[in-house]
Structure 1
Amino acid sequence: MARRKEPTVHGVAVVDKPAGVTSHDVVAMLRRRLNERRIGHAGTLDPSATGVLVIGVGHATRLLRFITDGHKRYVGEVVLGVETDSLDADGTVTATHEMAPVDLDTVRALIADRFVGDIEQVPPMVSAIKIGGRRLHELARAGVEVERQPRPVTISSFDVIDSRVEDGRQILTVDVACSAGTYVRSLAADLGTALGGGAHLRNLRRTAVEPFTLDDAAPPDECELLPIVDAVRGMPQFTVDGPLAARVAVGSVLPAPPGDGPWAMVTPDRQLLAVYEAHGDGFAKPSVVLPQPS
């Protein structure tokens, strides 16, 4: 069996994903542009959605889970009175409701009562979650609907920032900050149901993948390749050198630094050596040790 070629290009790219392409399409674009096969992304965006998509290149792919697990922020439009099978504008309309315009104070009070904090959410059928070894969107395309168990998610904030009427339908512009694994489509649909009718989501834009924002992002053909250490910019970072750096480089267990972790261990010249996580009482061990240039 041929040995897998070691990556030669390393770093992080923050892409402003355009509409009409998949997250995998963006990965393919960066593979061609950078001439590097080992590339992955942190957190899928639906094809119609736009905004922040964090790409790991080379050794940085080993750090993507720390970004994927972070909080995210979105803006989008909730169309009241129309339900779709995908819960967004890409789907087929399954039901319509005559809904009188809703006062924004009423909507905000309902959201604060039911949709902020730790909640449970049933994932949509049109999603990448696997059940029985098959992705839900594959089952949905085959006309099969399966029972999905609610999943815990955290909604840090859910704000209605604008309302207007378009073609007789009330459109709510929302700004949502949430944990990884949250489906904003489901929030929109559940809000419509709670208001006595139905709804779907459109024009979703991800404005942040903690700690990256749209200010860091650029289109796939323009985005900058940032150093690997930028992948851990949201972590506590500790500078190590000399004998301690040598111990980190070989994956030694160390006394835990202050705080909860994970912790990034960097050299004085800002090279990332490893990421450590808690290990037992008062200790930490590396979950990722990165190769260093010889």
Structure 2
Amino acid sequence: MNGIINVLKPTGMTSHDVVSRIRRIISQKKVGHAGTLDPNAAGVLLICAGKGTKLSDYLMAFDKEYVFHVKLGLLTDTFDIYGKTIHVDDNLKEIPVEEIRSVLDGFRGESYQTPPMYSALKVNGKKLYEYARSDIEIERKKRRIYIDRIELLDYSFPYIKVKAKVSKGTYIRTLCYDIGERLGTCGTMENLVRTFAKTQAIEDSYTLEEIENMYKLGNTSFLKKYDEVLKLDSIMFDDNDIDKLKNGIKVKSNEADGLKDMFYIRDVHGDILGIGEKSEKNLIKIKKRLI
């Protein structure tokens, strides 16, 4: 089985737990995920199966959309409600909704964010949360992020509900902290749901139970083809050129004019051989083979 599954990850499971469960369901070892979700987060988790695992890096590179709640006036060591409380703002007063909208608007565009200590980011071969659990603070480099869209969905003091479309590497827990700080208090993430990843929406995701039941009945429609998820232009080659490409030989194609850096290489039947890249004089080679 080669393809991508849009899984509705439940809270309480790690992304690795989901991968392990899918491996057991479809009886296949080669399974991975494209973009970690924290154990306490839910929503869209793209699972790659078989040769689809070769696409994980491409899928992780795209923006994702989240819906989350921020609790104002509370700060924990993990920046979410599951952490240890380190500060409560006893002087917190209700903030006008216009001020909240204005602050959220200020996050749009490019900015820099410091990864939280409780994260899986590695420093010197060790995950940050491992240092944090030993009460060791590690200096972290700020990372460039981009917030394409952010909006207030609901406000019930001291909770604000937010939807945001963000770039790869954006920590929503840190964003909640920063929102609280700009509002003159502190903020902690109450919950988090990933609603969109690449071209896949939460409305089209499958629970693990649904996938298992479908598979038992011989229904594998939950497994999406590569081009249903990673939508790219294509170049078609005849059998002779396909043989050359398979053997690592570059093939010239005038169809490459105007194509972006990534595109599918297809045979005359329309089957995807892999992801191609072009060099000078429109010479094409396979960058990532998928069959």
How many residues align? The count is 278
Identify if the C-alpha distance between structure 1 residues 123 and 237 changes in structure 2 by more than 3 Å, giving closer, same or farther. Answer: same
Aligned to 1:221: 209
Deviation, 1:270, is 4.2
Deviation, 1:242, is 3.7
Aligned to 2:98: 105
Identify if the C-alpha distance between structure 1 residues 137 and 270 changes in structure 2 by more than 3 Å, giving closer, same or farther. Answer: farther
Aligned residue for 1:27, secondary structure, equals: helix
Per-residue displacement from partner, 1:194-238 (whole Å, max 9, x unpaired)?
111100112200011111111321112323442442465322233
Between the aligned partners of 1:226 and 1:211, the Cα distance in structure 2 is 14
Gaps of 5+ in 2: 212-220
Aligned residue for 1:32, secondary structure, equals: helix
Aligned to 1:262: 262
> 231, 235, 240: which one pairs with 1:238?
235
Deviation, 1:109, is 1.7
Aligned to 1:181: 169
1:53 aligns with 2:41: no
Gaps of 5+ in 1: 1-8
Which stretch of structure 1 is more off in the superposition, 52-61 or 139-148? Answer: 139-148
> 2, 20, 23: which one pairs with 1:28?
20
Between the aligned partners of 1:101 and 1:56, the Cα distance in structure 2 is 45
Aligned residue for 2:80, secondary structure, equals: coil
Between the aligned partners of 2:274 and 2:258, the Cα distance in structure 1 is 16
The letter of the residue matching 1:264 is Y
The letter of the residue matching 2:156 is R
Between the aligned partners of 2:126 and 2:281, the Cα distance in structure 1 is 40
Identify if the C-alpha distance between structure 1 residues 285 and 210 changes in structure 2 by more than 3 Å, giving closer, same or farther. Answer: same
Which stretch of structure 1 is more off in the superposition, 82-91 or 239-248? Answer: 239-248
Per-residue displacement from partner, 1:18-64 (whole Å, max 9, x unpaired)?
01000000000001111111110000000010000001111110111
Kept in 2, the 8 Å contact 1:229–1:270? The answer is no
Which aligned pairs between 1:87-102 and structure 2 lie closer than 5 A? 87-97=79-89, 98-102=91-95
Identify if the C-alpha distance between structure 1 residues 280 and 178 changes in structure 2 by more than 3 Å, giving closer, same or farther. Answer: farther
Kept in 2, the 8 Å contact 1:81–1:199? The answer is yes
1:287 aligns with 2:280: no
Aligned to 2:190: 202
Kept in 2, the 8 Å contact 1:67–1:231? The answer is no
Deviation, 1:241, is 3.7
Kept in 2, the 8 Å contact 1:63–1:231? The answer is no
Aligned to 1:273: 273
Between the aligned partners of 1:259 and 1:123, the Cα distance in structure 2 is 35
Identify if the C-alpha distance between structure 1 residues 92 and 244 changes in structure 2 by more than 3 Å, giving closer, same or farther. Answer: same
1:191 aligns with 2:191: no
Aligned residue for 1:88, secondary structure, equals: coil
1:42 aligns with 2:22: no
Between the aligned partners of 1:135 and 1:231, the Cα distance in structure 2 is 34
Identify if the C-alpha distance between structure 1 residues 278 and 195 changes in structure 2 by more than 3 Å, giving closer, same or farther. Answer: farther
Aligned residue for 1:155, secondary structure, equals: strand
Between the aligned partners of 1:137 and 1:202, the Cα distance in structure 2 is 19
Which stretch of structure 1 is more off in the superposition, 87-96 or 238-247? Answer: 238-247
Which aligned pairs between 1:52-91 and structure 2 lie closer than 5 A? 52-91=44-83
Deviation, 1:279, is 3.5
Aligned residue for 1:265, secondary structure, equals: strand
Aligned residue for 2:65, secondary structure, equals: strand
Identify if the C-alpha distance between structure 1 residues 25 and 259 changes in structure 2 by more than 3 Å, giving closer, same or farther. Answer: same
Deviation, 1:259, is 3.2
* Structure richer in helix, relative to its length: 2
Between the aligned partners of 1:128 and 1:24, the Cα distance in structure 2 is 13
Aligned to 1:149: 141
Aligned residue for 2:189, secondary structure, equals: strand
TM-score by length of 2: 0.89
TM-score by length of 1: 0.88
The letter of the residue matching 2:232 is M
